[in-house]
A and B are shown apart, each in its own frame.
Chain A
Amino acid sequence: MREWADFTAEADDNGGTRLVLTGPLLISSIGVIDRKLRDWQGSVEEIDLTEAGPVDTVGAWIVWRFARDTGAQITGASEDAQRLIEAVQGAQGEGNVEAPRLPLITRVPAAVGTRVYNWGLGVVNLLGFLGAILIAFGSLVRHPRRLRIASITRQFELVGVSALGIIGLMSFLIGIVIAQQGAVQLRQFGAEIYTVNLTGRLAVRELGVLMTAIMVAGRSGSAFAAQIGTMKLTEEVDAMRTIGVSPLEALILPRLIAAVLMMPLLGFFSAGLAIIGGAFVSDLTLGIPFFTFLSRIQEVVPLHDIWVCMVKAPVFGLIVALAGCYQGMQVRGNSEEVGLRTTMAVVQGIFMVIVLDAFFAVFFTEVGWG
């Protein structure tokens, strides 16, 4: 069991009070005596350390603080104790340990104001970022040799090829769910055969590309933000600038280009696997043979649905990659910011994709691609 430091009060020769401290005055043993000394009422003339054990700075601090507050004399201190008491005496401070915190009544308006101000700043920043990307892209078009083929190929692999497995599996399962659930509803009208139309058109027109965009936002948008953010923290981005390499050209354009080019392929792949999933479950539960399902798809899915898919996919890819790269470039300060910005990249990316998808749905129907 731990031995706690303690004290006893006795009367000294002149009728005053003397505290005799006993036990080790160490950080591990001062829990009790600290509380008792804080509760102490009354005057003390002398603090006697002759019976105290070893002392460290925490013990010295407590003795000295009590002496300061009561005006008592410290006697019988060993050489070590004397030295430590002098050291802590010279180091007493008044400052706060926590970061300064305003009262609630000012903090709330201040927080709201900061939010609004930062939102405005964010809009300006984003516009500036888009402009810088356009300029960088323009100069890349004029000097196509500066295109970083190796870097783009690497991003192709990361964004596209390595995502095939997870996107394929996800789409296959979603195809199964659509066909199976759709069939349950359509059976009520005896219209099970329309499961093919439902699965085919939904997969090609909407879900394939939308789910892919969400998956790419989660896999690649977050990776863009975290990579670029970490490079900002370690000053790699600044190092690039000083060497004369534009971070926009070296880091951001390859990622944007890769996402824009890979998204249509991934979206199409996803739609295809969703249809295969639908065909698979129809074969098992509806009695529509697998290949009959696939050949019906050719008849019921109009070609313009493919075009809808191919128009939406690169736009979604651009949005997701832009959100990732933009948030990555906004990182400054500490490692917490990287996590925060990565989250924002994914949330913004997915949100913008869904907003745009709603817009596209109305738009394409209006132009007659319904």
Chain B
Amino acid sequence: MSEEQIAASVERRALRFDPERFQGEYPVVVEGLVNRFDGIAVHEGLDLKVRRGEVLGVVGGSGTGKSVLMRSIIGLQVPDEGQIEVLGHKVTDLAEGSQADIRSRWGVLFQGGALFSTLTVGENVEVPLREFYPEIEPELRHEIARYKVRLSGLPEDAASKFPSELSGGMKKRAGLARALALDPELLFLDEPTAGLDPVGAAAFDRLTRELADVLGLTVFLITHDLDTLYEICDRVAVLADRKVIAVGTIPELLALDHPWIQEYFNGPRGRAAKASQERAKAMDKPAGGKA
């Protein structure tokens, strides 16, 4: 085939949308968000801005609407009031076409992994590729699936396995591989380390941080895991009283006088997490290694 024919056949198969990299400062902007279930407000005038390139941890007690917030941002939950802007587009009133556009630019890891159980891990990773970039050749698609699986810290042979053959930790990694399939700018993680053993959780944290640095991701991370907060989050947003009551680095949050924040970070688990992080830093310094 001549070069013109190649170009023409690729263009014929490509979808008609033009993904563009986001250049603004805040890829996610939530303003005045109100969510009610059966008249009970979960969010009441919630505001939140996520900075480009940061790993933002979102914490809050059970039932404070962390997952609902994430579902609102990714358009699975239609809010009762408020504005949500993702990558410069308003999620709340999007036309079908531009929805496809921003959906190709974020990746979501659900709590249980939410892998498609009838497809292998590799085929799971290929699903978004097929959906948004039908012009990509099958060989390249397989190659991409393979290296994404490896990039997520899974062994080579995991690509041809079905989700039911994987352990809980491997399922999360496979879910991460699928979330990263399209090289998204934004990554949403819903309790990525819940249900993992401490060693697996620490490895997953390191992986998240590495990928965020290497791929230049903005990460929105819901977690209960204090170690995760100390290890990889640039800033932490605290959900309480139906709002984001504070956003900042952990030292900044500790300076605040809110009872829940104090209890959260200064409880026995909070102190243990802090101590272990300080130990890790002290051990790294003489060796000159990176954290």
Contacts and interface: CB of A to CB of B under 8 A. Distances in A.
Interface stretch (B116-124, B189-197, B271-279): B116-124
A87 interface: yes
Contacts of A30: 136, 140
A10 interface: no
B151 A98 contact: no
Given A28-B133, A31-B14, A84-B214, A4 B7 contact: yes
Interface in B4-34: 6-7, 10-11, 13-14, 18-19, 21
B142 A97 contact: yes
Contact of B159 (A84, A87, A95): A95
Contacts of A96: 122, 159-160
Contacts of B11: 2, 4, 31-32
Given A31-B135, A36-B6, A97-B160, A336 B117 contact: yes
Given A93-B156, A95-B156, A97-B120, A58 B214 contact: no
A31 B136 contact: yes
B241 interface: no
A98 B160 contact: yes
Given A4-B10, A31-B10, A84-B215, A61 B147 contact: yes
Nearest to A56: B183
Contacts, number: 126
Nearest to B21: A54
Interface in B163-194: 163-164, 182-183
B48 interface: no
Contacts of A27: 129, 133, 136, 182-183
B246 interface: no
Contacts of A80: 216
Contacts of B14: 2, 31
A93 B150 CA distance: 7
A92 B144 CA distance: 9
A57 B151 contact: yes
A34 B137 contact: yes
Contact of B162 (A39, A97, A99): A99
Given A84-B215, A96-B122, A34 B160 contact: no
B184 to A, nearest CB: 9
B136 to A, nearest CB: 6
A28 B147 contact: no
Interface of B: 1, 3, 6-7, 10-11, 13-14, 18-19, 21, 104, 117-118, 120, 122-123, 125-126, 129, 133, 135-137, 139-140, 142-151, 156-164, 182-183, 214-216
Given A31-B133, A94-B146, 14 more contacts: A2-B11, A4-B11, A32-B10, A34-B140, A38-B137, A38-B139, A87-B151, A88-B151, A90-B150, A92-B150, A97-B160, A98-B120, A98-B122, A334-B117
